[in-house]
Amino acid sequence: MEIDDKTIKMAATLSGIELEDEKTEAMAEFFKEMIGHFQGLEMCDVEGLDPFFNLDGSSCPFREDVQVCWENRDRALEAGGLIEGAFFIVPPIGGAEVADEI
């Protein structure tokens, strides 16, 4: 499996992280070493096994969708970056070039 700068840039884009160019090479070396270890899993016989399970065999619990009054909403808003009233402020999502990048 080839790991190069393009792989790292793809992973960084998916991760939403701006990665400096000078760190790309070190990250590629790290990926190569990790993927070498990951490929060791090919030696494990997993034929017929279901990958999706809960540790104690239970299924996902449901709860009633009931609105509850929470007194600390203002604190939660204050902890954010920029707020206006009861809303967090974000910049515009972006145009076509951003969509391409994602």
Question: What does the binding site for another protein look like in residue numbers (CB under 8 A)?
Answer: 7-8, 10-12, 14-20, 23, 27, 30-31, 33-34, 37-38, 40-44, 46, 49-53, 55-56, 58, 60-61, 63, 72-73, 75-76, 78-82, 88, 90-95, 98, 101-102
- To another protein, the closest distance from the beta carbon of 85 in angstroms equals 15
- To another protein, the closest distance from the beta carbon of 89 in angstroms equals 8
- To another protein, the closest distance from the beta carbon of 5 in angstroms equals 13
d(CA 7, CA 31): 9
Cβ contacts of residue 5 below 8 Å, gap of 6+? 24, 25, 28
DSSP state of 75: H
Amino acid making up residue 92: P
Query: Is residue 32 a contact partner of residue 3, using CB atoms and an 8 Å limit?
Result: yes
